[in-house]
Amino acid sequence: MIQYKEKKKGQETGNLALLSYPVLMVSDILLYDADLVIVGQDQKQHLELTNDITSKFNNFCAAKVLKIPKFSIPAIGAKIMGLKNPQKKMSKSENDYIALLDSPEVINKKIKEAETDSENKIYYDPTKKPGISNLLIIYALLNNQQIKEAEKELQNLNYHQFKLKLIDLLSGKLEVIQKKYSDYLSKVGEIVEKNNNYLKNLAEKKVKIIKKELKIL
């Protein structure tokens, strides 16, 4: 798998955790009978692996034990690129990302430092203008717009004006998320316990069915 090869770069051998991670991801999906899984573009191979494992397991068993979920890859924003390096995927490990808990001051700094180009015209062209195209995607997603709609709205602005507009929009959206986060944090123990019990019950039922089919009860 592509991600395995990328993570293994520079290493003579791969470790078990890295090798088994895709299967663990598949288990997380199948264990809870997911109906729909929304993923990014870079997860496409994991979707194919999920379908392969599900089909082979169901064919091996007398009953269709595992539900084959539907997968959805968003038409816009399936892969958000880095702010300083828009040629690479936005990554926390590269310190080139927007965090949901970033303050308005941090957002202001990150967006103002985001890479653009010298043309100072706002339009979508990920090949020639990867930086501004990435910011356009973020703006369109936050504003629930298509790329063309965002282009039309912003066409008369220069990069500085666009970045200020994006900063205001992003800060406002994150403020709502951060308020909810703060509210949930005050009762996190109660939420974790309630959901842990619910999910544990679902998982145990599914594992019991799987063990019965495999005759390892």
DSSP letter at 80 equals: P
| pLDDT at 206 (0 to 100) | 93
pLDDT of residue 98: 97
Around 37, how many Cα atoms within 13 Å sit in the side-chain half-sphere?
Answer: 24
**Mind listing the pLDDT tens digit of every residue in the chain (217 residues)?**
555 556 556 566 667 777 788 888 888 889 999 899 888 877 878 888 899 999 999 998 877 899 988 888 888 888 899 999 999 999 888 889 999 999 999 999 999 999 999 999 999 999 999 999 999 999 999 999 999 999 999 999 999 999 999 999 999 999 999 999 999 999 999 999 999 999 999 999 999 999 988 888 6
Residue 95: count other Cβ atoms within 10 Å of its Cβ. Answer: 8
Instruction: Provide the pLDDT for residue 132.
Output: 98
Q: Where are the domains of the chain?
A: 2-73, 104-185
Residues noted as catalytic: 7, 89, 92
Q: How many residues does the chain have?
A: 217
Which stretch of DSSP H or E encloses residue 38? strand 36-38
**114 φ/ψ sector (left φ>0, alpha ψ -120 to 50, else beta):** beta
> Which of the listed CATH numbers 1.10.240.10, 1.10.287.130, 3.30.300.30, 2.60.40.10 matches domain 104-185?
1.10.240.10
Q: Across 83-197, where does the E strand assignment appear? A: none
pLDDT value of position 215: 85
Secondary element (H or E) of residue 29 = helix 16-30
